[in-house]
Amino acid sequence: MIHSLFLINNAGDLFLEKHWKSVISRSICDYFFEAREKAVEPDNVPPVIRSPHHYLINIYREKIFFVSVIQTEVPPLFVIEFLHRVAETFQDYFGECSETTIKDNVVIVYELLEEMLDNGFPLATESNILKELIRPPTILRSMVNTITGSSNVGETLPTGQLSSIPWRRAGVKYTNNEAYFDVVEEIDAILDKSGTTVFAEIQGVIDACVKLSGMPDLSLSFMNPRLLDDVSFHPCVRYKRWESERVISFIPPDGNFQLMSYHISAQNLVAIPIYVKQNISFFETGSSGRLDITVGPKQTMGKTVECLVVTVHMPKVVLSANLNATQGTYNYDPVTKILLWDIGKLNPQKLPNLKGSLSLQSGAPKPEESPSLNIDLKIQQLAISGLKVNRLDMYGEKYKPFKGVKYVTKAGKFQFVNKMRSLCVSTSD
């Protein structure tokens, strides 16, 4: 299925490659580089790129492009899911999935890729199985391997590989038994200049960290499960019980894993947490313009908006910006033409404002339209869809575990546009 995998950084440097069926020349990545140049943002690179004899399927994670090369037609989502699993495995093994950590642990990376894919087809992708096959790196283990010449590869077949529950290893024991769940939601929204919602949806995931002894059987229920109409579960979840009772019943993997992901596309269920009043204008005469942006809370359910950042992609004729921010700091890069306003925590008592003048290139025609605004934000202890966990029950074991749920709302592709022409580009994703 997958012939080759290339890892490419943001600068376009190909720093790792792995081939399974046959060696494919690096020149195949030229088709990817062409698509990368056409995309404004890394996230806008088409996930499937066609060449005369191959398909290039890619994802963008942690400032790294994972580019797989396929020679025959396969379900693209199957390959995309596998690439995400590779990135998550690196994150689990090394603490972060970055170019530096991958280069520092290149031997283990190749060992993992060899086990995860057999002759181009996915084989072992569960973290528990992989950790028994290839032990995670530690400073002590690295020193011992250097002295003795041994490797991280295990000598016995993982116990879970042959069981009916391959995602959980046998004989798990913990002094402190705990189960924590993070409900993380991202808002993708497009709003016009007046603040009217043109498009809005929520992408949500429930990440779990389960460290329980033995073989526990868990049931997770929600106060409003009918919100979840488009869901995807980890293989451990019993889907028939979800269909009949709207309860998530499962024997969990040991450690960190993604229990489920969901998508809410009903626009009336998507609350917009902030509003933006903006006025970016360019004068007919003279080489100047004005900018005035105010941000305020809207539907935050009493929670505080944090890590608020406004990004404006200015027209090419804008040379500099002389602005005054009542809160936070701003920076305008004359090379990339990007204005970045880092507000931080939003204070509803004193709304942040950015106001000032723009200097344009002399003699250049006036820009036809005002630029759009991209928003980044975070709200702790809030699921913007209103989803709430009701209870977590455990069966099969007699001890009482520590349990906890945390909610986080983030901005995905959150944009205020001024004209429908900008909208068409944004909604094509």
Express the helix, strand and coil content of the chain in percent, nearest 5 each.
Answer: 20, 40, 35
Look at 19 and 418; give whichever has higher pLDDT. 19
What is the average per-residue pLDDT within 352-371? 87
CA distance 318 to 367: 9
Q: What strand order describes the sheet that includes 64-70?
A: 14-19, 2-9, 64-70, 55-61, 48-50
Residue 426 predicted with pLDDT over 50: no
Residues 61-95 pLDDT 10s: 999 999 999 998 899 999 999 999 999 999 989 98
pLDDT surpasses 80 at 365: yes
Q: Which amino acid is at 66?
A: F
What is the structure's pLDDT at 168?
83
Q: Can you read off the two tokens belonging to residue 419?
A: 């004209």
Asked whether residue 139 carries a pLDDT value surpassing 80, the answer given is no
pLDDT tens figures, 155-212: 555 555 555 687 887 788 999 999 999 999 999 999 998 888 999 999 999 999 999 9
Spell out the long-range contacts of 46-53 with Cβ–Cβ below 8 A and sequence spacing 24 or more: 47/76, 47/80, 48/76
Ramachandran angles phi, psi of 134, nearest 5°: -130, 110
The fraction of the chain above a pLDDT of 70, given in percent, is 91
pLDDT higher than 80, residue 149: no
pLDDT at 131: 82
Q: Residue 154 — very low, low, confident or very high, per pLDDT cuts 50/70/90? A: low
Give the Cα separation of 173 and 383 in Å (integer): 33
Q: Residue 280, exposed/middle/buried by CB under 10 A (0-12, 13-18, 19+)? A: buried
- The string of DSSP codes covering 72-110 is S---HHHHHHHHHHHHHHHHHHHSS--HHHHHHTHHHHH
pLDDT of residue 425: 36
Segment 14-39 mean pLDDT: 93
Backbone angles phi, psi at 65, to 5 degrees: -90, 125
pLDDT at 415 over 70: yes
